[in-house]
C-alpha cells in the first residue's frame, strides 16, 4: 500500500445516495408545478440526464445549459408544456435539500479525516453541492470542495485536476488517492493525471479493459480495510 496523505472523493454516487435524492427531487418538482408524476418519469429522465452529463464531461454543454436542456427534453418526451428553466431551478433547490448518504459514508469519512486530508471533487452544480455538504454530517471533515461549475472545467479534464492540486498545495501525486464511481469522469480523470484510483463499484460491474485501476471496492467501509484503518 502506497503512503497517501490526500484522499479525493467524488460526491454523487460515491458519498451521497444520488439515486434516492434524484427520485425525491424530481417527484417534488412535478408536484410543486401541479403536473402529474409517475415513477416512469424517472425512467425517462435517467438517460436524458446521463447523456447531458457525458456531454458536460466532454465540454459540449455548460452547467447552465444542462440544467435547462434536461427538462426541455423530459417535458417534450412526456408531451407536457412547462417552463424548462423554472423546472430546472426548482429541481436544483429540491436536490440541494436531499443529502442522504450511502451506507457507511459518515463513518468512513469521519475515520479517515483523522489521518488524511480529504477533498471533494465533483462535476455537480454549485447550488446543489455546497448546500448539501454544509447540511450533511460529513461536510466538516473535508478541507475543501472543488466544483466543476465554479472552476470552469469538469472531470476528467486536466484543468479540473490542476485546480484541485493548486488548492491542495501541489502534493506529490504519488501521495494522492482518488475514490469515485464514474469510470469516465473519476477513474479516467485520475489515471490520466497519474493518480492512483479506487473504483467504487457497488453493482459489481465487470472491470473494463484499458484502465489501470489500482484498487476496487464494493462497499465504502472496505476503504478502511484497504487503507489499514
- Give me the catalytic one of 10, 12, 17, 186: 10
Closest Cα to residue 97, out of 20, 21, 204? 21
What is the three-state SS of 58-99? CCCCCHHHHHHHHHHHHHHHHCCCCCHHHHHHHHHHHHHCCC
Compute φ and ψ for 121, nearest 5 degrees. Answer: -125, 120
Active site annotation includes 10:
yes
| CA–centroid distance for 215 within its chain | 19
> What's the burial of 157, exposed, middle or buried (CB within 10 Å: 0-12/13-18/19+)?
buried
Residue 89 C-alpha cell reads as 431551478
Question: Active-site residue numbers?
Answer: 10
Amino acid at each position: 500500500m502506497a503512503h497517501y496523505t490526500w484522499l479525493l472523493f467524488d460526491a454523487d454516487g460515491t458519498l451521497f445516495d444520488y439515486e434516492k435524492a434524484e427520485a425525491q427531487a424530481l417527484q417534488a418538482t412535478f408536484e410543486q408545478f401541479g403536473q402529474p408524476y409517475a415513477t416512469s418519469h424517472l425512467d425517462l429522465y435517467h438517460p436524458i440526464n446521463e447523456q447531458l452529463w457525458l456531454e458536460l464531461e466532454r465540454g459540449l454543454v455548460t452547467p447552465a445549459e444542462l440544467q435547462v436542456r434536461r427538462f426541455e427534453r423530459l417535458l417534450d418526451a412526456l408531451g407536457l408544456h412547462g417552463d424548462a428553466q423554472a423546472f430546472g431551478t426548482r429541481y436544483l433547490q429540491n436536490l440541494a435539500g436531499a443529502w442522504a448518504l450511502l451506507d457507511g459514508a459518515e463513518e468512513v469519512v469521519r475515520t479517515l479525516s483523522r489521518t488524511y486530508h480529504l477533498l471533494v471533487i465533483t462535476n455537480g452544480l454549485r447550488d446543489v453541492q455546497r448546500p448539501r455538504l454544509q447540511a450533511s454530517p460529513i461536510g466538516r471533515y473535508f478541507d475543501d470542495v472543488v466544483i466543476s461549475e465554479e472552476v470552469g472545467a469538469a472531470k476528467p479534464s486536466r484543468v479540473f485536476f490542476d485546480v484541485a492540486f493548486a488548492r491542495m498545495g501541489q502534493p506529490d501525486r504519488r501521495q494522492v488517492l482518488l475514490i469515485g464511481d464514474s469510470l469516465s469522469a473519476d477513474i479516467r480523470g485520475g489515471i490520466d493525471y497519474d493518480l492512483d484510483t479506487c473504483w467504487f463499484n457497488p453493482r459489481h460491474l465487470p472491470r473494463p479493459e484499458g484502465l489501470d485501476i489500482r484498487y476496487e471496492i464494493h462497499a465504502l467501509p472496505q476503504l478502511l480495510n484497504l487503507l489499514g484503518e
